[in-house]
Homo-oligomer: A and B are copies of this chain.
Amino acid sequence: MSQQFNMSGPIEISQACVDDPFWSAEQELVRTTVLPYQWRALNDQVPGASPSYCMHNFRAAAALNKRLNGQEGSGDFQPPTYTNQGFHCLPEDPDHPDPDKFYGYVFQDTDFSKWVEAVGYSLAHHPDAELERLADGAIDIVCAAQLDSGYLDTYYILNGMNRHFTNLKDHHELYCLGHLIEGAIAYYQGTGKTKLLHAAERFADYVAAAFGPADGQLHGYPGHEIAEMALIRLYETTGIKRYLDLAAYFVNQRGTSPLYFEQEDRQRAAYEHADFTIDDSRPAPYAYYQAHGPVAQQRQAVGHAVRAGYLYAGAADVARLTEDPALNEAVHALWRDIVDKKLYVTGGVGADADAESHSYAYDLPNDTGYCETCASVALVFFARRMLQLEPRSEYADVMELALYNTVLDGMAMDGKSFFYGNPLEVRPQTKRNKDPRYSYVPIVRKRWFGCACCPPNLARLVESVQDYAYTLAEDGSTLFVHLYIGGRIQADLGEGSIALRVHSELPWKGRISLEVEASGDGQTTLALRLPSWAGGDAAADAVTVHTGQGSSNAISRRVEQGYLYLSGPWKQGDRIDIDFDMPVRVVAANPLVSQDAGKVAVTRGPIVYCAEERDNGANLHLLHLDGSALSGDASRVKVEPFTFQAGAYLDDPQAEGHVDAISRSMVRLRVPAWRESAEGADTAPLYRQWQPVRRMPATATLIPYFAWSNRGENEMRVFLDVD
């Protein structure tokens, strides 16, 4: 069986750090702006933003816990009996929330978990005593809220434990478990402190006892996935196999017959004296939850795109660790379905904004597509797990694409506002006219969200980006370099260890160097990804090895599945120089994507470009790239380093869409183009005799997609007409 698997594991966070200009800037933004902001948000201290109630709920649960344990007040205190507070519960008087009540979304506990996860990653490479003090204090409150049993979800603790685990489908208890685990592990890795990790283990133990195949156990699984991935991390952190078993149970039980969610819905309807109606999510009942059939039999990516990504990542983990060929086949098929039929050119997924879901094959609307930031975060997770199953550069290509484009697009350049959805085309008149078809399509970033999934999800990924750059082969033979991010990496390989110093000019230039700072004896292998944007396998020619002592012939070279394997007796002072070609690439979509017919997107390296009205004037549908300048020889496209000036278009720092004045070095593209005139069109007739269009020569200025909407509200397009 194992010949199907060519697996690798993650590098521990403490073994890699980042210091390249591009990613350092992102991480600093998160550390200095996002994390403090997020802390205020989860303590309801952001003026104008809807309160989170996250820490409020933990405090209320901690107080209840004290009373239950007779530590305070009457010892015969009775716990609350459940009343359904709905998916989002707000206080009657917003100015005076009841200190004993639960408020916010059912999953509001995860605001803390995601914050503490990002804090953990940040502390790992950037000590900050004040931040650590804040986090320790929060952890004390959270742990005080945990029931003696180990259960820890404030929604049911405060509303009535008698109905806990009766609405797995919608009430996110196991989602809260998953995020708690992820946060606890990160904080443990960043600080060495175990208090939160133990709390997470206790909750996991409680769940592991409650769920499973045995009689008397619940045969259910998470409504919103993430616990699968998280339990695998807990297994890999603690070595306790119970967590792997539980993750495998959740993955393999999902969607089996009789369908747990349907049974649960029936029972809940009976309990609530309501009619039972089957969940009719498209394209099949319970498909929104990826519970329409057994995971090992799933072949099409469906339903809520974040949940789907988390499930597939967890399933890939389980496939790897249990060497399950059916699950392995399923995650490969699901990957292919996404990449071949449902992936935006920006690395976005989830074309169906109405259900935040994958749409059907080849349905990729540029203007109404959702492309949730979190869904691309989930795609990064999935891709990293696929890389661990099998080192193929396609996985890293997609991971990098999502990371540099849709994920980074989620945050404004000043770190103060965020996109949930990341469309590929906007026209401000849709917002000005309150067009309901575009109600999910943002034109400018918002400052925060009551349902704050995307900003902290982005924050935790940015703070741990080095985790995605490297994996180690399970046999200890090989260090894989998937992403070229400047910094340091130390890896324990089978025959010794190796420490590398990486310099990278990505994403703007293809020059990278990897210096061996230290190494053990014996043969070790470095496997360098050959990015598709640099020509794939042919890019191996861009890699030169310089050995300090003797000839570089001692290092053998082999290209396989998009990786250049360099094996030999690496010594301190050896150096690998890379100069990847970074041509401008003009990309067309498959002819079955009707929304992109006659259009192209322009990319360079890992960066996808777009045209903004600010640079190109209004009516971007009248701007056409000049096909004759793009086919064959793309040298007529000018690659132009420049300083991007964000902000300065809106005076009010509280206004939606405001971005603080900020400058960043980037590369923009200047593409030969032409445009149709709209002069006088607003007084011209609505229809006229067609004539071939008079082409007015123009130059299209394209900026990185992640940088759009940093200069106020304006039109934007990724796919542009070409002819």
Interface residues of A (CB under 8 A from B): 282-283, 339-341, 343, 345, 352, 354-355, 359-360, 363, 365, 368, 427, 429, 433-437, 585-594, 597-598, 600-601, 619, 621-622, 627, 630-631, 676-678, 681-682, 684-692, 721-723
Contacts and interface: CB of A to CB of B under 8 A. Distances in A.
A8 to B, nearest CB: 25
User: What's the number of copies of this chain in the assembled complex?
Assistant: 2
Contacts of A588: 687-691
A320 B593 CA distance: 52
A682 B592 contact: yes
A520 to B, nearest CB: 41
A692 B723 CA distance: 8
Given A592-B681, A593-B686, A433 B282 contact: yes
B590 A681 contact: yes
A363 B367 CA distance: 14
B434 A283 contact: yes
A224 to B, nearest CB: 21
Contacts of A619: 591-592, 594
A282 B722 CA distance: 35
A677 B723 contact: no
Contacts of A427: 594
A621 B597 contact: yes
A430 to B, nearest CB: 8
A429 B689 contact: no
Q: 6 tightest CB-CB pairs across the interface, nearest first?
A: A588-B690, A594-B621, A360-B433, A586-B690, A597-B621, A354-B436
B691 A363 contact: no
Nearest to A683: B340
Main SS at interface, chain A: loop
A354 B437 contact: yes
A631 B339 contact: no
A120 B691 CA distance: 48
B363 A429 contact: yes
Nearest to A434: B282
Nearest to A688: B588
Nearest to A429: B360
B721 A598 contact: yes
A532 to B, nearest CB: 10
A539 to B, nearest CB: 15
B360 A681 contact: no
A352 B630 CA distance: 38
Given A687-B587, A690-B631, A691-B631, A678 B433 contact: no
Nearest to A427: B594
Contacts of A690: 586-588, 600, 630-631, 722
Nearest to A600: B690
A677 B619 CA distance: 30
5 contacts: A282-B434, A355-B436, A360-B435, A589-B687, A597-B621
Contact of A692 (B590, B631, B684): B631
A721 B597 contact: yes
A685 B678 CA distance: 36
Among A427, A591, A631, A684, chain B packs the most CB atoms within 10 A around the CB of A591
Given A343-B686, A686-B341, A692 B627 contact: yes
A284 to B, nearest CB: 10
A616 to B, nearest CB: 14
Given A589-B687, A590-B685, 17 more contacts: A339-B686, A354-B436, A360-B435, A427-B594, A586-B689, A587-B688, A588-B689, A590-B684, A590-B687, A591-B619, A591-B622, A591-B681, A597-B622, A597-B676, A597-B721, A600-B690, A627-B692
Nearest to A341: B686
Contacts of A437: 354, 365, 368, 437
Contacts of A355: 436
A590 B693 CA distance: 12
A363 B587 CA distance: 28
A393 to B, nearest CB: 14
A376 to B, nearest CB: 16
A232 to B, nearest CB: 29
Nearest to A353: B437
A359 B435 CA distance: 8
A151 to B, nearest CB: 37
A439 to B, nearest CB: 9
A359 B429 CA distance: 11
Contacts of A360: 429, 433, 435
Nearest to A675: B591
A405 to B, nearest CB: 13
Contacts of A684: 590
